[in-house]
Structure 1
Amino acid sequence: MLAIRRSAERGHARYEWLDTHYTFSFSEYHDPRHMGFRSLRVINEDRIAGGGGFPRHGHRDMEILTYVIEGELKHQDSLGNGSTIRPGELQRMTAGSGILHSEANASETDPIHLLQIWIFPDRAGITPSYEQKEFDRTQARGRWQTLASRDARDGSLTIHQDASLSQTFLDPSEVVSYELGQERHAWLQVVSGSVKAVGVELKAGDGLAISDTELVEVEGLESSAVLLFDLA
């Protein structure tokens, strides 16, 4: 089973400092046909203007991943963490029993482009925690690099769910394959460029839900970056 989520069909909101596209229902955008996929609940593509940001606010019972595409993001939270997240890094925040945080563009003039990702945890009330790591992108060229997983395999960040997140960077005509286990599901999100995945052409911002397919092949149609979620 394949289900395509085209970039142009996503929810959209524009505020004074934020231009955002919602893959799934979020905030004031609600579409009962798009409430998430398996444990994957949110993929928001945010563009934050210089000097803009989200003021301090709270979350509970969610694994929150931040993937910066361009620019730098400042983070502060009620656990005492203060950091800057840059391209090539991934942040994981386990909201668990409750956490407060703020996020802001580190630049007063230049915009930032990022993906905000939420995954349901496998249980409620987990002790809140935080991780951030830089990944060597050369290890993702033409192959899958694990960024987050339940067992922290291959040096990835830990998420509290039977799921994993991987990335790859492809040149034109380059092909990479991913083996899904039986009764597993995948969500592909094209970060940049364009690819052909399981015979479907996808462009930046497009997503593809994949079920009942054990081998996922992705071919770069141009220089591209792709995320893959492996989900129970």
Structure 2
Amino acid sequence: MITIRPAEERGHANFGWLDSHHTFSFGHYFDPKHMGFSSLRVINDDTVSPSMGFETHGHKDMEIISLVTQGTIAHKDSAGNVRELPAGEYQLMSAGKGIFHSEFNASRTDTLKFLQIWIQPNSVGGSPGYQQKSFGESEGFTTIITPDGRDGTLQIKQDMSLTQLILKQQDDAQWPIQKDRRYYVHIVEGQLTLNDDIELGQGDGAKIEQLELLKFAKQSEQVKVLLFDLI
């Protein structure tokens, strides 16, 4: 079964300096039909004005993933991490027993665009953690996040994984599904056809349950997809 989450039906908030689209209920946007999917709780598609951002605020017991699609994030947290996150790199912050951080657009002239993703952890408390890495823009599937940090991936406190799919010269790709798992697809860039007849574009998502195979066929010059493997 595939359930589509159209981009135009997402929640929306515009504060002037921040324009945000919410795949799942977040902040002032509440929809009981869209409270998350398995441990995937938040996908926010944020656009931030130059020099603006999120003032210092706290999180607890949440795994927070950021992927910049345009510009650079200036990050600072109470664990002593002062970093910049450029477009294409992944950041994973484990809030643990509690952490405070700020996220700003590092540019005074250019717009920042990024995805903020929250995963509910399978253990609470513990020390906060910070990881950041570029995995490049290789064709095909690239594993980004795993529970055990295998093969240089970022390590998360949950039985889930995140895989990046890029299609450029390659026209299609397939992903075998485990019957006891659930999957979520989020389109970062481009247009594609999922399983032969489902058309998806930028910002669209899809919940996948009880299938045997996922088939991706690009319908634009380049496609970038996030694939969540969930319990």
**TM-score bracket relative to the smaller structure:** over 0.9
1:153 maps onto 2:132 in alignment = no
- Tell me, yes or no, if the aligned pair for 1:171 and 1:221 is still in contact at 8 Å: no
- What residue is the counterpart of 1:84 in the other structure? 84
- What residue is the counterpart of 2:29 in the other structure? 29
Aligned residue among 195, 218, 221 for 1:220: 218
**How far has the Cα of 1:197 moved from its partner?**
1.2
- For normalisation by structure 2, the TM-score amounts to 0.96
1:187 maps onto 2:184 in alignment = yes
How many residue pairs align between the two structures? 229
1:203 maps onto 2:201 in alignment = yes
- What residue is the counterpart of 1:47 in the other structure? 47
- Tell me, yes or no, if the aligned pair for 1:172 and 1:220 is still in contact at 8 Å: no
In the TM superposition, structure 1's runs of 4+ consecutive aligned residues that sit over 3 Å from their partners are none
1:167 maps onto 2:159 in alignment = no
Q: Which amino acid aligns with 1:189?
A: H
**How far has the Cα of 1:173 moved from its partner?**
7.0
Q: Deviations over 1:5-51 (max 9, x none)?
A: 00000000101210000000000000000000000000000000101
5+ unaligned residues in a row in structure 2: which ranges? none
Q: Distance in 2 between matches of 1:179 and 1:153?
A: 20
- How do 1:38-117 and structure 2 match up within 5 A? 38-117=38-117
**How far has the Cα of 1:136 moved from its partner?**
2.0
- Tell me, yes or no, if the aligned pair for 1:187 and 1:230 is still in contact at 8 Å: yes
**How far has the Cα of 1:172 moved from its partner?**
7.3
What is the RMSD computed on CA atoms of the aligned residues? 1.1
Q: Distance in 1 between matches of 2:199 and 2:150?
A: 30
* Secondary structure of the structure 2 residue equivalent to 1:204: coil
Q: Distance in 1 between matches of 2:198 and 2:181?
A: 19
* Secondary structure of the structure 1 residue equivalent to 2:67: strand
Q: Which amino acid aligns with 1:43?
A: I
- Tell me, yes or no, if the aligned pair for 1:77 and 1:99 is still in contact at 8 Å: yes
Q: Distance in 2 between matches of 1:133 and 1:10?
A: 29
Q: Distance in 2 between matches of 1:28 and 1:162?
A: 29
- Tell me, yes or no, if the aligned pair for 1:173 and 1:221 is still in contact at 8 Å: no
Q: Deviations over 1:44-92 (max 9, x none)?
A: 0000010110000000110000000010000000000000001221000
- How do 1:126-145 and structure 2 match up within 5 A? 126-138=126-138, 141=139, 143-145=140-142
Q: Which amino acid aligns with 2:63?
A: E
Identify if the C-alpha distance between structure 1 residues 38 and 173 changes in structure 2 by more than 3 Å, giving closer, same or farther: same
Q: Distance in 1 between matches of 2:57 and 2:14?
A: 20
- What residue is the counterpart of 1:17 in the other structure? 17
Percent of paired sites with the same residue: 45
* Secondary structure of the structure 2 residue equivalent to 1:26: coil
Q: Deviations over 1:128-160 (max 9, x none)?
A: 11100111212xx1x210111101123110011
5+ unaligned residues in a row in structure 1: which ranges? none
